[in-house]
Structure 1
Amino acid sequence: MTALSGMTGFGRADGALDGWTWSVEARSVNGRNLEVRFRGPNGFDNLERLAKAAGQARLSRGQVTVGVQARKAGGDASTLKVNEAVLARYLDLANQLAMEGATPPSADGLLALRGVLDADEETDDAEARAPIEAAMAATVEQALDALKTSREREGAQLRPVIEDFVARIETLVATAETEAAAQTAAVRDRFARRMAELAPDVSGLEDRIVLEAAALATKADVREELDRLTAHVASARALLEQPPAGRKLDFLMQEFMREANTLCSKSATTALTATGLDLKAVIEQLREQVQNVE
């Protein structure tokens, strides 16, 4: 059985080959769909494509950021130069963002951006870098595996919380069923009192009360809403056994809330209204937790 997974996590892996060393960090946060962002060293042009493909193969939702920091042994900072044209474009964009309230960039942050620093000489050709790039891609996969494990740990923590909310909804639905049984009598008594106040001497009043009360009771019937809520509880439990289920659970929360709203609007007793409001509160709490599920 596939483990339930969250969408927040972190993974890291390191690697080395032919004088190169590198570290890979993979992070993820909640997201409606899957988005994989990549930042890596210059000269390894296929690494971004490989990293995104690896992320898509392992994950289905969330905003994922993969970063690769690489360094060649014996590298000399004196062989680096600033690409002033690229830096100027970054500075223009940073200044625009700063005018809108963003924090001004730091010097080390600017230098770390792709294309700002260039080597005076390219000592490795594409063919020589191919095995290094392949090794980096393998390390990226290790980091993504660690990220997936981290997200599964979050899922293991989320599951009992979600199950508890589903159980609370089930209990409230059962309470609402008991309270709904009193709706017909409550509607009839309320209508009878009103009619007696407005037309106490009208002949055939009792028969009229019975007919009108029956019509009002039909409008106030919440049997369908309670049946659908019961079915939604079963669906939620089934989805927890069939991950990734976060997107389907999102849709199910909308259905839960729709039935709870209708239940409250049809309620004819204070007790049922109170239960309906409690139900809506628990559904909202469940929805917040479901948003963390992959």
Structure 2
Amino acid sequence: MYDFLIAPFLEFGFMQRALGGSLMLSLGACPVGVFLMLRRMSLTGDAMAHAILPGAAVGFLFFGLQIVPMTIGGLIAGVIVAMGAGAVSRFTVQKEDASMAAFYLISLALGVLMVSLRGSSVDLMHVLFGTVLALNNEALGLIAAISVITLITLVIFWRAIVAECLDPLFLRSVSGLGMPVHFIFLGLVVLNLVGGFQALGTLLSVGLMMLPAAAARFWSTRVEPMCVLAVLIGFGSCIAGLLLSYHAALPSGPAIILSAGFVYLVSTVFGTRGVINMRMRRHHHRTA
């Protein structure tokens, strides 16, 4: 048991850095995922994850696989796409989901094209799927900073973010915080996707944000416990995925996301709000 569960993290520095980076990602991204889910914006997170690719690609073209330029580029691209999709939905007849889909598809194609112009297929795979086992101290520092910023922002704006999730019209009617809080929250989404991009790539970073949140929804109806449970599921998924990657020689990023996906599937069946319990409750009400 020691050799299987503990030894890989004690004996290898790359496993320690991967574990630290993925746990810090879970700490910031999973609560953000809960609010995305409650807002019914889960697919928006996926679109934003693709949207950061062109900016990261510009940083890659000029500086190679360096964290700071790719991060700054990703942040700028994410903000541009979010504002562009919002402007289209606000000033035209098109809804936000359609405009976001259009912008992210353009961004994804543009980003892949830009990376392919200079890099190899290995570089493209690195950008799209990340390399959690190759995290260095610079990447860990960036992820830690993003997690701290996210947690502090959530604590400061907690009540406003919860209100904006559950009843945005009410928040805007009683306070002027409605629109600023919405953009602050979108900023947190982009920031955490950029952090996840360092470890899991643009295609998988949203997985660690949304799957634990979706799984937690089957176990709780209150926001605070849901966020805590999502973080714990994220922690467990990262540990299980890294161990699976180490012992079975599998890609680490997909192994982490598949571990979270397994928890989600189990939760859909056995959760307190899952299939079995919901069927039992309906049967009880019919026979009562």
With normalisation by structure 1, the TM-score equals 0.22
Query: Which has the greater radius of gyration?
Result: 1
Q: Which has the higher helix share?
A: 2
With normalisation by structure 2, the TM-score equals 0.22
Q: Which has the higher strand share?
A: 1
